[in-house]
Amino acid sequence: MRLVVRRWKEGWRAPRYDVFEVEADPSESVLDLVERVSLKLDPTLTFEHACHHGVCGACGMVVNGVERLTCVTRVGDVARNGVILVEPLHGFKVVSDLVVDKSRMFSRYPDDTRTLERVAAQVEKLWDCVECGICYSACPVACSYPSYLGPSVLAWAFHRAVEEGRVPAPVASRSGVWSCHAAFDCSEKCPVNFQPGEKIMRLRRLLLRGAVEVV
């Protein structure tokens, strides 16, 4: 098995691609493979990970050209001719190797962000959206327009709009729902089927109908 990793460190002029030859089991996750390389072959390899079971959103990477949560992506399902190429997510500034700076997503959260969804009278649930940033990486607008609020943040705003009949002004501005090109790559690549693209469209319709207030 050959793991190819895009490397970049502070001060480098250009990225570099490193090749690691490793034993791998087709049923293990791409993340486990990357972690093993960092433990056995190159301790300077940096990447983000925490839960290893698809709930925290830390481990998003571009694997053989496609955005994925690497902890729930099996080696055998994505390797091509025994090769796996991992690169950092697009649409964010690279910090080091596979680590990107996700502040363009998190810094857009309003202070009263609701992290819990009420699914029944007595039942609370953290939103399915794991805040991985994959939808930004997949979105042609987010990748070329840095002030775009981005798919997941707008999808959350849609839920707030439905619940409260209100959205903050930036959501209804040029950097908000009106920038979306309806490419739906976000929904296509979202690992939890949160459907940010569809939610942006629905929020637009609510705004056009005057069904939500802009505050």
Partner 1 sequence: MRRVVVIGGGVTGAAIAYDLSLRGFRVTLLERGSAGSGTSGRTHGLLHSGCRYVADVEVARECYSENQILRRIAPYLFEKNGGLFVAITEDDLRYKEFFLEKCEEAGIPVREVSREEALRLEPNLNPQLKAAVVVPDGTFDPLKVILSFLASAKKYGADIRLYNEVRGFRVGGGEVKAVKVLDKVSLREYELEADFFVNATGAWANKVASLAGLHVPVKPSPGVMVALDGRIGNMVFNRLNKPGDGDIIVHHRGTSVIGTTSWVVSDPDEVTAPKEHVELLLRRGAEMAPIVSRMRVKAVYVSSRPLIGQAAQTGREISRSFAIIDHSSEGVSNFFSIIGGKFITARLMAEKMGDVVCEHAGVTAPSRTAELPLVPYWHFYG
Binding site for ligand SF4 (CB under 6 A): 57, 129-135, 151-152, 155, 190-192, 194, 196
Residue among 29 and 187 whose Cβ is closer to ligand SF4: 187
Residue among 49 and 204 whose Cβ is closer to ligand FES: 49
Residue 150 CA to residue 64 CA, distance in Å, equals 24
Told to check if 200 binds ligand FES by CB under 6 A, we report no
Strands 2-7 and 83-87: parallel
Q: Going along the chain, which residue ranges are E strands?
A: 2-7, 16-21, 60-63, 66-69, 83-87, 93-96, 99-101, 116-120, 123-126, 166-167, 213-214
> Residue 65 binds which entry of ligand FES, ligand SF4, partner 1, none, with Cβ cut-offs from 5 to 8 Å by kind?
none
Instruction: Residue 141: name the closest of 178, 109, 115 by CA.
Output: 178
Of the candidates 19, 41, 83, 116, which one interacts with partner 1 according to CB under 8 A?
A: 116
Using CB under 6 A, which residues numbered 27 to 66 contact ligand FES? 49-52, 54-59
The amino acid at residue 19 is V
Q: Exposure string (b/e) for 10-42, b if CB count within 10 Å is 16 or more?
A: eeeeeeeeeebeeebeeeebbbbbbbbbbeeee
Told to check if 86 binds ligand FES by CB under 6 A, we report no
CB of 17 vs ligand FES, minimal distance in Å: 23
Told to check if 133 binds ligand FES by CB under 6 A, we report no
Per DSSP, helices labelled H in 5-72 are: 30-36
Neighbours of 44 (CB within 10 A): 9
Of 13-21, 125-133, 159-167, 204-212: span binding partner 1 (CB under 8 A): 125-133
Strands 166-167 and 213-214: parallel
Of the candidates 122, 169, 209, 210, which one interacts with partner 1 according to CB under 8 A?
A: 122
CB of 210 vs partner 1, minimal distance in Å: 30
Q: Vertex 207, ends 205 and 210: CA angle to 5°?
A: 110
Told to check if 58 binds partner 1 by CB under 8 A, we report yes
CB of 76 vs ligand FES, minimal distance in Å: 18
> Residue 206 binds which entry of ligand SF4, ligand FES, partner 1, none, with Cβ cut-offs from 5 to 8 Å by kind?
none
CB of 62 vs ligand FES, minimal distance in Å: 14
Residues that bind ligand FES (CB under 6 A): 49-52, 54-59, 69, 71, 130
